[in-house]
Structure 1
């Protein structure tokens, strides 16, 4: 598509990055909350030790999953913020070059 221009809304991209990074923090808090609730063989009762261990192991896997999710969202937000800053800096630099040539 020759002649087509793409415009990036830097402010919207920064806002989205901020929201993503905030969401990563919320997920991190939930991971911490989950880690505070231990459950295992003792909590399941004497006849349900095997089931209690399964619940415990599942909660640990969930914590790992939340940690991975938090990291992915945090890194995505950081990259968006970095890109928005780069776009703004590049645009500002181009405007200055154009003004200087006039």
Structure 2
């Protein structure tokens, strides 16, 4: 890895992402690009919204014993139960993705505050 570069997901595409010196934060040899972290948080928020939208679609397209017919009521109930589980999983993933997006977004704020404080200390020495 070259100095000033990070590799991996930059929030948009796989590959290498150049890190501008003005936005780079160095700590113990770890380089963090706040813009890339912000992009990741944004993508996570989008994912959370998509998961929620799909949970609504699952809920709107219910299927159960009545749709399966009298002779297949048991199978219809199992399909219904499976759809309820899928909706629940989607909602749980939505909640987890939203919480992760919030945490990652807060990281950008903390990094910015830490970097600004370090700059003030350097300027005052």
Q: Which residue of 2 aligns with 1:69?
A: 93
Q: Any stretches of 5+ residues in structure 1 without a counterpart? A: none
Q: Which residue of 1 aligns with 2:23?
A: none
Q: Which has the higher strand share?
A: 2
Q: How does 1:43-54 map to 2 (within 5 A)?
A: 43-54=67-78
Shift of 1:92: 1.0
CA distance in 2, matches of 1:7, 1:62: 39
Name which of 15, 36, 40 aligns with 2:64: 40
Name which of 20, 30, 44 aligns with 1:6: 30
Q: Which residue of 1 aligns with 2:124?
A: 100
Q: Which residue of 2 aligns with 1:25?
A: 49
Q: Which residue of 1 aligns with 2:104?
A: 80
Equivalenced residues, count: 98
CA distance in 2, matches of 1:59, 1:84: 37
CA distance in 2, matches of 1:22, 1:89: 25
Shift of 1:64: 0.6
TM-score scaled by length of structure 2: 0.76
Q: Give 4+ residue runs of structure 1 displaced > 2 Å after superposition.
A: none
3-state DSSP of counterpart to 1:7: strand
TM-score scaled by length of structure 1: 0.92
3-state DSSP of counterpart to 1:48: helix
CA distance in 2, matches of 1:96, 1:36: 55
